[in-house]
């Protein structure tokens, strides 16, 4: 069982930056691939980024590639999402999620989810 708690969301102007954190409970965090997803009002949940269990492999949605960076510190049971050059279309609730084995881009592959943190980018 893994419990996830996101933090770091907020209101930022276009072009600004935010860093989201996701703290995981349990002693097996290093066994889980981690992902970040987002959901805007009226839209489906979409993949943002994912990272392998040791952090050696990362994957990004085309819409955030070059602007967002996912990372993890297993000793702190934490995964991060650094978001730079934010755009109004990045406005959404951001969720972190965990799954065994390798990272994927499909929400249905992930077994554990946080409650989400709101990111709002003003124009």
pLDDT score for 41: 93
Report pLDDT for 22: 98
The pLDDT of residue 26 is 78
- Which residues have CB under 8 Å from 41's CB, separation 6+? none
Q: In sequence order, which residues have a C-beta less than 8 Å from that of residue 81 and are 6 or more positions away?
A: 19, 20, 22, 36, 48, 49, 68, 69, 70, 94, 96
Instruction: Tell me the pLDDT of the chain (123 aa) as tens digits.
Output: 899 999 999 999 999 999 999 999 977 899 999 999 999 999 999 999 999 999 999 999 999 999 999 999 999 999 999 999 999 999 999 999 999 989 999 999 999 999 999 999 999
């Amino acid at each position: 069982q893994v419990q996830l708690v996101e933090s770091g969301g907020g209101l930022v102007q276009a072009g600004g930056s935010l860093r989201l954190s996701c703290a995981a409970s349990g002693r097996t965090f290093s066994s889980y691939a981690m992902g970040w997803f987002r959901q805007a009002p009226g839209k489906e949940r979409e993949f943002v980024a994912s990272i392998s269990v040791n952090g050696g492999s990362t994957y990004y949605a085309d819409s955030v590639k070059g602007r967002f960076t996912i990372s993890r510190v297993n000793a702190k049971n934490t995964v991060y999402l650094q978001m730079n050059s934010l755009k109004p279309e990045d406005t959404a609730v951001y969720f972190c999620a965990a799954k065994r084995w390798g990272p994927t881009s499909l929400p249905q592959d992930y077994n554990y989810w946080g409650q989400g943190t709101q990111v709002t980018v003003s124009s």
